[in-house]
Amino acid sequence: MITFNAVTFSDIFKSSFLQNITEFSILDTVIGMAFSLVVGLFVFLIYKKTFNEIMYSTGFAMTLVGLSLVTTLVIMAVTSNVVLSLGMVGALSIVRFRAAIKEPMEIVFLFWSIAAGIVIGAGMIPLAVIGSAVTGIILVIFANWKTHDTPYILIIDCKDEKAEEGAMELVKQSVSKYLVKSKTINDAGIELTAEIRMKDASTSFVNRINEVNGVSGATLVTYNGEYMS
């Protein structure tokens, strides 16, 4: 004969599963999450301050704050229970991320948020605060420290060699430095690609290049190091 014993709320709270969590503290959790939020917002502000690309992603910036909070929560749970830590390692090992990283600096901010969350979750709040402050200052300094002029790529379409010579002579007079990257010759004429460093922010010389007899077009684009000729 099978008998069923009634389960009360008292029995639930006396469960061995709940009793395994012996080091949980609401105050420590609130303090840790608060510092994690502050550090995450600091990472967010540094990312916004040092961002110098064209397309700013608000979603990625907010992800930095979320990563800091979630990582802190996970590390707190792991440090409070040895059994849970082993299960967490197995669960996180099957996680795969498909989001493409567009800029190398984004990897730095992602690891910064995760590292801050790990350190805060482990209880080393001063280390997280001091380390984040030093990292942020260094990133701001290097972001505003330009060691060279912005490079540009100039593409000129010429009908013949005479037009090419006239265009390049004008380029030599208008820019501070130039370097021919590629030269393509076909039935339509000559396509010349050069990396240039301009003397100032003015781009009116491109208009004058286009007015050279035999030049059918001139294009100026920012060079980010990924140009494929």
C-alpha span between 9 and 15 (Å, rounded):
10
Position of tokens 């060699």? 161
Tokens linked to 113: 């948020």
Q: Which domains does the chain have, with CATH numbers?
A: 9-144 (no CATH), 151-222 (3.30.70.260)
Q: What is the pLDDT along the chain (229 residues), one digit of tens a residue?
A: 545 455 454 554 455 555 555 556 788 889 989 999 999 999 999 998 888 766 677 888 888 999 899 889 888 877 766 556 555 655 555 556 566 667 778 888 989 999 999 899 888 999 999 999 999 999 988 887 765 567 888 888 988 888 888 888 888 888 888 888 888 888 888 888 888 888 777 788 888 888 888 888 888 887 655 544 4
Region for 123 from its dihedrals, namely left if φ exceeds 0, alpha if ψ lies in -120 to 50, beta otherwise: left
Q: Which helix (H) or strand (E) holds 22?
A: none
Per DSSP, the three-state class of 98 is coil
Report d(CA 90, CA 187) in Å as an integer: 62
> How far apart (Å, rounded) are the C-alpha atoms in residues 140 and 205?
34
